[in-house]
């Protein structure tokens, strides 16, 4: 199993540009989530999904959009990038419709100039 994969690993955007961070898992996990990690702030939940076709907002959802058309994929879209979205983004998944024992991807380091 590849586990949780994220692409790209690094990305630089200009203010106002849009992009999609990709996340995929091959463990047949129902629960998937996106976090951002900033120095001194810890991990903060952006959006999560308890199964295909079901998504919900986390703690910091503004400026981000998600969809879950398959069990395997959970892309995160930045609609119009802002410098405040400079961060490291982690995707995670877990068995069942719960956050128990989440498996994290390697992260995407995003810089918005």
By CB under 8 A, name the binding residues for another protein. Answer: 4, 31, 33, 35, 40-45, 48, 50, 56, 58-59, 90, 92, 97-107
Cβ 77 to another protein shortest distance, Å:
20
Q: 47 or 78: whose CB is closer to another protein?
A: 47
Q: In angstroms, what is the minimal distance from the CB of 80 to another protein?
A: 26
Q: Which of 27, 44, 46 is nearest to 93 (CA)?
A: 27
Q: Which structure tokens are listed for 18?
A: 């849009």
CA distance 38 to 12: 16
């Amino acid at each position: 199993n590849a586990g949780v994969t994220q692409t790209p690993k690094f990305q630089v955007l200009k203010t106002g540009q849009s992009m999609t961070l990709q996340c995929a898992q091959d463990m047949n996990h129902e629960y998937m989530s996106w976090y951002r990690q900033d120095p001194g702030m810890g991990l903060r939940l952006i959006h999560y999904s308890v199964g295909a076709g079901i998504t919900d907002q986390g703690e910091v959802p503004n400026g981000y959009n998600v969809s879950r058309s398959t069990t395997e994929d959970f892309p995160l879209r930045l609609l119009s990038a802002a410098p405040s979205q400079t961060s490291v983004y982690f995707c995670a998944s877990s068995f069942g419709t719960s956050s128990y024992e989440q498996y994290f991807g390697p992260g995407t380091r995003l810089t918005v100039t």
